[in-house]
Structure 1
Amino acid sequence: MSKDIVVIGGGTAGARLARQLAPSARVTVIGEEDHAPYNRVLLAEVLAGRYGPEVVALPETPVRRGVRVVRIDRADKVVQCDDGSVVPYGTLVLATGSNPVLPPLRGLGNDLPDGVHPFRTMDDCLALAAAVREGTRAVVIGGGLLGVSAARALAERGAQVVLAQQGEHLMERQLDPAASELLRSHLETLGVEVHTECRVRGLRCEAGAVRAVELADRYALDADLVVVACGVRPRVGLARAAGLDVRNGIVVDDELRTSDPDIRAIGDCAEHNGRVYALAGPAIEQADVLATLLADSPDACPADSPAPSSDTSPAPAPAPSARYTGTRALTRLTLNGSGPLDLAAFGETTPLPGDDVVRLTDATRGAYRKVVVRGDRLIGGILLGDLGAVGELARTWEGDEPLPSSPLFHLLGGS
């Protein structure tokens, strides 16, 4: 039986796991993209033209690029690929990531009209960069983290950008209304026209190319280019077809094991304790925990060692040396260039009755700081424009230790 570790997915989680395990284990990484693994967080910098693709590449990781796994055969413990190859595994790791959500808009089907782009992969980014010109009329649908990043990058490339957000304010999952208003002002300073509480009804196309974005009130936004940034959804098709337990994501336990003990899952596709994170930080933490577990496994086989002979009695399985218990995730966005933008958000940023809230706003400098304290614990915070205190705040929050009895203003860095 093969003891090889096969990883499906060459993104942040899969590449990190392979680097952590090498060179002590035989690891095969199968990646669907033609590009070498890269830092997805920096795609907006590539779109803005500040970085080339090679700058955001992750440390060298051997990947079978441009190969898509089409089937998992759990009985024979092999994966079948679209190039006809069959790869055996001892342990299979699903790091399949996530797909962009394409909302049910009129004119938007499985085949995207010319000029309509998601913003999730390097290919998406390079296609957008090739399409945008000075004066290009661009509409970004979605005012979350990806939408804000794309709108700002396109504006820096000289496009006339309209950002359409269905919710009441930008980045609703991370920011409160006050911080969102400062973010909106920042975007408008760069020439981005922001519309909130704005529901998109569909696309108007001619000869297979987008020409306008139609809103619910029938108002049309002329568009040469449309970016769909409406969130992401875990890629679970392979897992579901293989009969694994799938809810929103591929269900895993504290050892990142799926309902098949020989298959693990990490990153955007994994659901742990009812939560799918879809962030780089948790993906890295899961990869590190799994690397420790697999390295300590009695089934692990060094790259230069033969597999154990069939007459060797297996050693008792030791207690796991690591467990994944969840990530206290911090969202951070840093965009350089003209009018740099820095923001960070973590934990619970909406206070409950009885919580203490400390807030400092400097509209002139576009800076905002807010922390939420429950009892003697820091439970959340938002910083925009000045992240000088983010390191100390993040450590205090992640450590979940009692706060000192001194006034809470010290949490904001003493500014």
Structure 2
Amino acid sequence: MTRLVVVGNGMAGARLVSEVRARDRHVKVTVFGAETWQPYNRVLLSNVVAGTMTPEQVRLLDPAWYADHSVTALPGVEVVAVDRETQAVITAGGRREPYDVLVLATGSRAVVPPVPGAARAVTFRTLDDCRTTLEAAATARRAVVVGGGLLGVEAARGLAGRGLPVTLLHLAGHLMDRQLDAEAGLVLGETLAGLGVEIRTGVVVEEILDEGVRLEGDETVEADLVVLACGVRPVTGLAGDAGLDVARGVVVDDEMRTDDPSIFAIGECAEHRGTVYGLVAPAWEQAAVVADIVTGTDKTSRYRGSRLVTRLKARSVELAAMGETHLTEDDAEVVRFSHRAAGTYRKLVIRDDRLVGAILLGATDAVGNLTQLFDRGGPLPGDRAGLLFPGVSGGAVAESPVRMPDAAKVCQCNNVTKGQIRACWESGARDVDAVAAATRATTGCGGCRDAVEGIVGWLCEQEGVSA
């Protein structure tokens, strides 16, 4: 019997365990998690901060699942060393757990900037961070979030959703500068401002004080609560100490295997072909590949990399960005529409008649169709406006269930197609929750929920049944 040990019980590790059990009930599985929580969906933490979801609602697996599937889960037990010679992991308490196959899914940790007073702030990365933030927010009069990337925007929106005045500080000239161009960042900032978040870009934090944040130039931004959302860094110490090849992340090949053939790495700690992916969909794709190989279900399974789609779906803020969003008319064909008063910005980046990038902010009815075109890399229809406004000018309307092919991918995080949703519906799943339970659609970033609801509603309407 193969002994599989998984170090890390977050989104990648938990997914691997469930993928392995879906393929083989006989592999002996032990999973260690440094956090005491059962595995949870980190993507939805801003909803916990905002109070629209509870910690229980973002949980991925519960203790009963582990018992029912004969998996030994050890939350709150940290692995501190890997003995490659004897093939065993060693915990902080001295326990030795032997393995035939070891998978590192250690994830990332929050970056804490080297500024005086940083210990006074809280990070935004874990459920424990959320608990600390909520305790502080209960008595705070003002909050500051440092970092205007995806995590910072989510944290600021979550706190503002609780009625707390929030100032969002960002070093770059516009928000989410890695994913968005300057105009999209401006529109996003104006949208957040309308929701109670004051935006300050191009500022340098010099010190975190008891009474707020001191900026370069000696200006102080007052706050009782300071949240750091300054990015994440792969957790690679365990792999490095074990002598594995580590660059920015743990270096793996197309099998997600390290330079030790008995050790794999997946998720945010893994570096594949020079890239460390910080989103959930690649981690879950990697987990499926390793599960195929470890169980022998498909020894030819390989991970070839992911085409990234960043989704932000905080309350009242909808955003999708994919590919090469920063290219201009000098480098590619660019089609854009901006309506700042409505908080809407849409941009297509096209090269050689292929969609290589897109930004959709505000109403995102075109996301499904554009994501499919971006994923497949196929030729585009001549009517570019129809891509930005499906159904308005006779262009592509793949978001309409009638026109959407069964092969169209609806849930990017879990690779669920319209055809799979249809098959699930025909098997008796008559609402979104039932479809989610069967296919996992909507359980990643949650951005596809409206599309799944539309498909289920359309199917019910066709057959004259109640959704």
Residue in 2 aligned with 1:192?
A: 197
Output the CA distance in 1 between the equivalents of 2:361 and 2:139.
29
CA contact 1:3–1:91 (8 Å) conserved in 2: yes
Output the CA distance in 1 between the equivalents of 2:343 and 2:224.
32
Structure 1 residue identity aligned to 2:4: I
Output the CA distance in 2 between the equivalents of 1:284 and 1:102.
27
Whether 2:222 is the aligned partner of 1:243: answer: no
Structure 2 residue identity aligned to 1:409: A
CA contact 1:296–1:321 (8 Å) conserved in 2: no
Residue in 2 aligned with 1:331?
A: 310
Instruction: Output aligned runs, 1:277-316, within 5 Å.
Output: 277-296=277-296
Partner of residue 362 from structure 2, selected from 372, 376, 385: 385
Identity of aligned residues (%): 48
Give 3-state SS (helix, strand or coil) of 1:335's partner.
Answer: coil
Compare relative contact order (CA 8 Å, sep 6+) and give the higher one, 1 or 2: 1
Output the CA distance in 2 between the equivalents of 1:354 and 1:244.
40
CA contact 1:133–1:159 (8 Å) conserved in 2: no
Give 3-state SS (helix, strand or coil) of 1:364's partner.
Answer: helix
Whether 2:45 is the aligned partner of 1:40: answer: no
Output the CA distance in 2 between the equivalents of 1:39 and 1:100.
16
By how many angstroms is 1:191 displaced? 1.9
Unmatched 5+ stretches in structure 2: 67-72, 393-467
Residue in 1 aligned with 2:441?
A: none
By how many angstroms is 1:177 displaced? 1.2
Whether 2:209 is the aligned partner of 1:233: answer: no
TM-score, normalising length: structure 2: 0.79
Give 3-state SS (helix, strand or coil) of 2:81's partner.
Answer: strand
Output the CA distance in 2 between the equivalents of 1:58 and 1:137.
33
By how many angstroms is 1:134 displaced? 6.5
By how many angstroms is 1:354 displaced? 4.4
Structure 1 residue identity aligned to 2:108: S
Partner of residue 64 from structure 1, selected from 74, 81, 84: 74
Whether 2:124 is the aligned partner of 1:125: answer: no
Partner of residue 179 from structure 1, selected from 157, 167, 184: 184
By how many angstroms is 1:10 displaced? 0.5
Instruction: Output aligned runs, 1:81-120, within 5 Å.
Output: 81-108=91-118, 112-113=119-120, 116-120=121-125
Instruction: Output aligned runs, 1:349-388, within 5 Å.
Output: 349-351=325-327, 353-388=330-365
Output the CA distance in 2 between the equivalents of 1:131 and 1:141.
16
Decide which moves more: 61-70 or 166-175: 61-70
Give 3-state SS (helix, strand or coil) of 1:244's partner.
Answer: coil
Residue in 2 aligned with 1:255?
A: 255
By how many angstroms is 1:137 displaced? 1.7
Give 3-state SS (helix, strand or coil) of 1:214's partner.
Answer: strand
Output the CA distance in 2 between the equivalents of 1:295 and 1:149.
38
By how many angstroms is 1:133 displaced? 2.9
Structure 1 or 2: larger helix share?
2
Describe the superposition over 1:66-108 as per-residue Cα deviations: whole angstroms up to 9, x where unpaired: 0000110000100001122111100000000000001110223
By how many angstroms is 1:362 displaced? 2.4
Q: Give the superposed CA RMSD.
A: 1.5
Give 3-state SS (helix, strand or coil) of 1:175's partner.
Answer: coil
Structure 1 residue identity aligned to 2:39: P
Describe the superposition over 1:129-177 as per-residue Cα deviations: whole angstroms up to 9, x where unpaired: 1110366221111000010111111111122211110001000011111
CA contact 1:135–1:160 (8 Å) conserved in 2: no
Output the CA distance in 2 between the equivalents of 1:182 and 1:24.
53
Residue in 1 aligned with 2:13?
A: 14
Output the CA distance in 1 between the equivalents of 2:27 and 2:364.
40
Unmatched 5+ stretches in structure 1: 205-209, 298-318
Give structure 1 regions of 4+ aligned residues with deviation exceeding 6 angstroms.
none
Describe the superposition over 1:209-240 as per-residue Cα deviations: whole angstroms up to 9, x where unpaired: x3221111111112211101000000000000
By how many angstroms is 1:24 displaced? 4.2
Q: From the superposition, tell whether residues 291 and 193 of structure 1 become closer, same or farther in structure 2 (CA, over 3 Å).
A: same
Structure 1 residue identity aligned to 2:324: E
Give 3-state SS (helix, strand or coil) of 1:29's partner.
Answer: strand
Structure 2 residue identity aligned to 1:137: R
Describe the superposition over 1:155-206 as per-residue Cα deviations: whole angstroms up to 9, x where unpaired: 11122211110001000011111111111111111221111000101122xx
CA contact 1:74–1:242 (8 Å) conserved in 2: yes
By how many angstroms is 1:31 displaced? 0.6
CA contact 1:155–1:190 (8 Å) conserved in 2: yes
Whether 2:2 is the aligned partner of 1:3: answer: yes
Give 3-state SS (helix, strand or coil) of 2:58's partner.
Answer: coil
Structure 1 residue identity aligned to 2:289: V
Describe the superposition over 1:24-77 as per-residue Cα deviations: whole angstroms up to 9, x where unpaired: 422111011111111100000000011110101113453211000011000010
Output the CA distance in 1 between the equivalents of 2:300 and 2:126.
35
Describe the superposition over 1:331-388 as per-residue Cα deviations: whole angstroms up to 9, x where unpaired: 001112xxx1110000001225341111112223211111100011100100011111
Partner of residue 144 from structure 1, selected from 143, 149, 154: 149
Decide which moves more: 357-366 or 43-52: 357-366
Whether 2:322 is the aligned partner of 1:346: answer: yes
